[in-house]
A and B are shown apart, each in its own frame.
Chain A
Amino acid sequence: MSILANKETRAVIIGGIAGLNAAKRMAQFDFLINRPLTVQAFVYPPEEGQHKEIYRGGELNNVTVYSTLAQALAENPQINTVLIYIGAARAYQSAKEALESKEIKLVSMITEGVPEKDAKRLRKLALEKNKIFNGPSSIGIMSAGECRLGVIGGEYKNLKLCNLYRPGSFGVITKSGGLSNEAMWLCAQNGNGITSAVAIGGDSYPGTDFVTYLEMFENDPETKAVVIVGEVGGTLEEEAAEWFGKEIRRIKLIAAIGGTCQEVLPQGMKFGHAGAKEGKKGLGSARSKMNALREAGALVPDTFGGLSKAIKQVYQELLATGVIQPEPELDDKLLPALPPSVQEVMKQGDVIVEPLIRTTISDDRGEEPRYVGYAASELCEKGYGIEDVVGLLWNKKLPTKEESEIIKRIIMISADHGPAVSGAFGSIIAACAGIDLPQAVSAGMTMIGPRFGGAVTNAGKYFKYGVKEYPNDIPGFLNWMKQNVGPVPGIGHRVKSLKNPDKRVKYLVEYVKNQTTLHTPCLDYALEVEKITTSKKDNLILNVDGTIGCILVDLDFPEYSLNGFFVLARTIGMIGHWIDQNNQNSRLIRLYDYLINYAVKEERPVPEKK
Chain B
Amino acid sequence: MAKILEGPAMKLFNKWGIPVPNYVVIMDPNRLEQLGEANKWLRESKLVVKAHEAIGGRFKLGLVKLGLNLDEALESAKEMIGREIGTAVIRQLIVAEMLDHDEEYYLSIAGNRDGAELLLSTKGGVDIEDNWDTVKRLFIPLDETPSIEEITEFALGAGFVGEIAERVAKIASRLILCFENEDSQSIEINPLVIRKSDMRFAALDAVMNVDWDARFRHPDWDFKPVSEIGRPYTEAEQQIMDIDARIKGSVKLVEVPGGDIALLTAGGGASVFYSDAVVARGGSIANYAEYSGDPPDWAVEALTETICRLPKIRHIIVGGAIANFTDVKATFSGIINGFRESKSKGYLENVKIWVRRGGPNENQGLAAIKKLQEEGFDIHVYDRSMPMTDIVDLALNS
Q: Known contacts being A115-B214, A117-B183, is A154 close to B360, with CB within 8 Å?
A: yes
Report A's interface with B, CB cutoff 8 A. Answer: 21, 25, 88-89, 112-118, 120-121, 123-124, 139, 151-155, 158, 161, 174-182, 185, 202, 204-205, 229, 231-232, 256, 258-261, 263-274, 276-277, 286, 302-305, 307-308
Nearest first, the 8 closest Cβ-Cβ pairs linking A and B are A176-B269, A178-B267, A268-B230, A182-B321, A115-B214, A261-B275, A178-B321, A304-B273
CA distance A259 to B269 in the complex (A): 9
Q: How long is the Cα–Cα vector from A233 to B377 in the complex, in angstroms?
A: 38
Q: Which of B185, B252, B392 contacts A271 (CB 8 A)?
A: B252
Q: Is B246 an interface residue (CB 8 A)?
A: no
| A204 neighbours in B (Cβ, 8 Å) | 1, 185
How far does the alpha carbon of A72 sit from the alpha carbon of B217 in the complex, in Å? 29
The minimal Cβ–Cβ distance linking A167 to chain B, given in whole angstroms, is 20
Within 8 A of A (CB), among B337-351: none
Q: Taking A88-B213, A116-B111, A271-B254 as given, write out 4 further A-B residue pairs in contact, using a Cβ cutoff of 8 Å, ordered by the A residue number.
A: A116-B213, A154-B324, A175-B269, A272-B290
Inter-subunit contact A304/B388 (CB<8 Å): yes
Q: Is the CB of B276 within 8 A of A261?
A: yes
Select one of A154, A205, A229, A266 contacting B113, CB under 8 A. A205
Interchain CA distance A265-B270 in the complex, whole Å? 18
In the complex, whether B152 has a CB less than 8 A from a CB of chain A is no
Interchain CB contact (< 8 A) of A267 among B114, B230, B322? B230
> What is the distance, in angstroms, from A187's C-beta to the closest C-beta of chain B?
12
Contact across chains for A303 and B280 when beta carbons are under 8 A apart: yes
Please tell me if B100 contacts chain A, counting CB pairs below 8 Å: no
C-alpha spacing A559/B278, complex, angstroms: 78
Query: Which residues of chain B from 15 to 72 have any CB-CB distance to chain A below 8 Å in the complex?
Result: 56
For B361, what are the chain A residues with a Cβ–Cβ distance below 8 Å?
155
Cα–Cα, bound, A124→B393 (Å): 44
Q: Which residues of B contact A (CB under 8 A)?
A: 1, 56, 111, 113-115, 142-143, 183, 185, 211, 213-214, 216-217, 228-230, 252, 254, 256, 266-273, 275-280, 285, 288, 290, 292-293, 320-326, 358-361, 384, 387-390, 392-393
Report A-chain residues with C-beta under 8 Å of the C-beta of B384. Answer: 161, 185
By the criterion CB–CB under 8 Å, are A120 and B113 in contact?
Answer: yes
Q: Is the CB of A303 within 8 A of B324?
A: no
A117 contacts B211, C-beta separation under 8 Å? yes
Main SS of the interface on chain B? mixed
In the bound complex, residues from chain A placing their C-beta under 8 Å from that of B273 are: 179, 256, 258, 303-304
Between A and B, 12 residue pairs with Cβ closer than 8 Å are A117-B142, A117-B211, A124-B114, A176-B267, A261-B278, A268-B228, A272-B268, A272-B290, A276-B268, A303-B273, A303-B277, A304-B277
Tell me the nearest residue of chain B to A274, going by C-beta: B1
Shortest B330–chain A CB gap in Å is 13
Report Cα–Cα, A499/B272, bound state, in Å: 97
In angstroms, how far is the closest chain B Cβ from the Cβ of A27?
Answer: 15
Return chain B residues, CB-CB under 8 Å to A271.
229, 252, 254, 271-272, 288, 290
Identify which of A124, A174, A268, A276 contacts B272 (C-beta below 8 A): A276
Chain A residues within an 8 Å CB radius of B325: 21, 25, 151, 154
Q: Considering residues A115, A118, A123, A161, which has the most beta carbons from chain B within 10 angstroms of its beta carbon?
A: A115
Is the beta-carbon distance between A158 and B359 smaller than 8 angstroms? Answer: yes
Residues of B within 8 A of A182 (CB): 270, 321-322, 358, 388
Closest to B266 in A: A178
Contact of B269 among A174, A205, A277 (CB under 8 A): A174
Question: Would A305 and B269 count as touching, CB distance under 8 A?
Answer: no
B389 cross-chain contacts in A, Cβ below 8 A: 303-305
Report the minimal beta-carbon distance from B388 to chain A, rounded to whole angstroms.
Answer: 6
Q: Which B residue's beta carbon lies closest to that of A137?
A: B268
Chain A residues closer than 8 Å to B271, beta-carbon distance: 271-272
Are A269 and B211 in contact, with the CB atoms below 8 A?
no
Q: How far is the CB of A144 from chain B (nearest CB, A)?
A: 16
The docked-state distance in angstroms from the alpha carbon of A308 to that of B384 is 13
Contacts of A276 in B (CB 8 A): 268, 272
Complex CA–CA separation, A189 to B276 (angstroms): 23
Residues from chain A with Cβ under 8 Å of B392 in the complex: 305
Are B185 and A116 neighbours in the complex by a CB distance under 8 Å? Answer: yes
CA distance A204 to B228 in the complex (A): 16
CA distance A114 to B271 in the complex (A): 22
A261 touches B267 (CB 8 A): no
Cα distance A153–B322 in the bound complex, in angstroms: 9
A256 vs B384: C-alpha distance in the bound complex, in angstroms?
Answer: 19
CA distance A116 to B326 in the complex (A): 26
Residue of B nearest to A259 (CB): B272
Q: How far is A375 from B216 in the complex, measured between Cα atoms in Å?
A: 50
Contacts of B320 in A (CB 8 A): 178
Chain A neighbourhood of B272, CB < 8 A = 231-232, 258-259, 261, 271-272, 276
| A residues in contact with B270, CB < 8 Å | 176, 178-179, 182, 304
Q: What's the least CB distance linking A464 to chain B, in Å?
A: 57
Q: Is B358 within 8 A of A179, CB to CB?
A: no
Whether B360 pairs with A155 at a CB distance below 8 angstroms is: yes
A307 to B290, CA, bound (A): 22
Residue of B nearest to A231 (CB): B272
CA distance A304 to B391 in the complex (A): 12
Complex CA distance for A154 and B327, rounded to whole angstroms: 10
Q: Say whether, besides A269-B230, A270-B228, A177 and B269 are in contact (CB < 8 Å).
A: yes
Across-interface contacts of A175 in B (CB, < 8 A): 269
Judge whether B229 and A179 touch: CB under 8 Å: no
How far, in whole Å, are A52 and B280 apart by their CA atoms in the complex? 49
In the complex, A425→B182 CA distance in Å? 68
User: Which residues of chain B have C-beta atoms less than 8 A from A302's C-beta?
Assistant: 280
Cα A182 to Cα B266 in complex, Å, equals 12
Question: Which of A115, A120, A202 is in CB contact (< 8 Å) with B114?
Answer: A120
Q: A120-B113, A176-B269, A258-B273 given as contacts; is B388 within 8 A of A154 (CB)?
A: no
Of the residues A269, A272, A305, contact of B393 by C-beta under 8 Å: A305
**Residue contact A266 to B230, C-beta cutoff 8 Å:** yes
Q: Which residues of B contact A89 (CB under 8 A)?
A: 216-217
> Considering the chains assembled together, what is the distance between the CA atoms of A271 and B320 in angstroms?
16
Please report the C-alpha to C-alpha distance between residue A113 and residue B271 in the assembled complex, in whole angstroms: 19
Residues of B within 8 A of A121 (CB): 142-143
Q: In the docked arrangement, what's the CA distance between A202 and B114, Å?
A: 17
In the bound complex, residues from chain A placing their C-beta under 8 Å from that of B268 are: 176, 178, 202, 272-273, 276
B322 touches A260 (CB 8 A): no
Cα(A118)–Cα(B143), bound, Å: 11
Residues of A within 8 A of B230 (CB): 266-269
Closest residue to A263 on the B side, CB-wise?
A: B279
Q: Which of A151, A256, A276, A304: most chain B Cβ within 10 A? A: A304
- Please, which residues of chain A bring their CB within 8 A of the CB of B276? 258-261, 286, 303-304
Tell me, in angstroms, the Cα distance from A175 to B325 when the chains sit together: 17
Does the CB pair A258–B269 fall under 8 Å?
yes
Residue of A nearest to B254 (CB): A271
A124 and B113 alpha carbons, distance in the complex (Å): 9
Q: Within the complex, what minimum Cβ distance (angstroms) separates A240 from chain B? A: 15
Q: How far is the CA of A21 from the CA of B360 in the complex (A)?
A: 14
Contacts of A139 in B (CB 8 A): 324
B323 to chain A, nearest CB (A): 6
User: Would you give the shortest CB distance from A444 to chain B, in whole angstroms?
Assistant: 47
Q: A154-B359, A260-B279 are in contact. Are A270 and B229 (CB under 8 A)?
A: yes
The answer to whether B293 touches A112, judged by C-beta atoms less than 8 angstroms apart, is yes
Smallest CB-CB separation from B113: which chain A residue?
Answer: A205
Nearest Cβ on chain B to A272's Cβ, whole angstroms: 4
Interface centre among A151, A153, A258 (most CB of B within 10 A): A258
A599 → chain B, closest Cβ, in Å?
A: 71
Q: Are B360 and A88 in contact (CB under 8 A)?
A: no
Are the CB atoms of A272 and B211 closer together than 8 Å?
no
Taking the closest CB of chain A, its distance from the CB of B59, in whole angstroms, is 15
Roughly how many angstroms separate A422 CA and B111 CA in the complex, as a whole number? 80
In angstroms, Cα B307 to Cα A509, docked, is: 74
Chain A residue, CB-CB nearest to B277: A303
Residue among A185, A302, A305 having the largest count of chain B Cβ atoms under 10 Å: A305
Asked if B213 and A114 make an inter-chain contact with CB atoms under 8 angstroms apart, the answer reads yes
Choose one: A118, A260, A272; the contact of B280 (CB below 8 Å).
A260
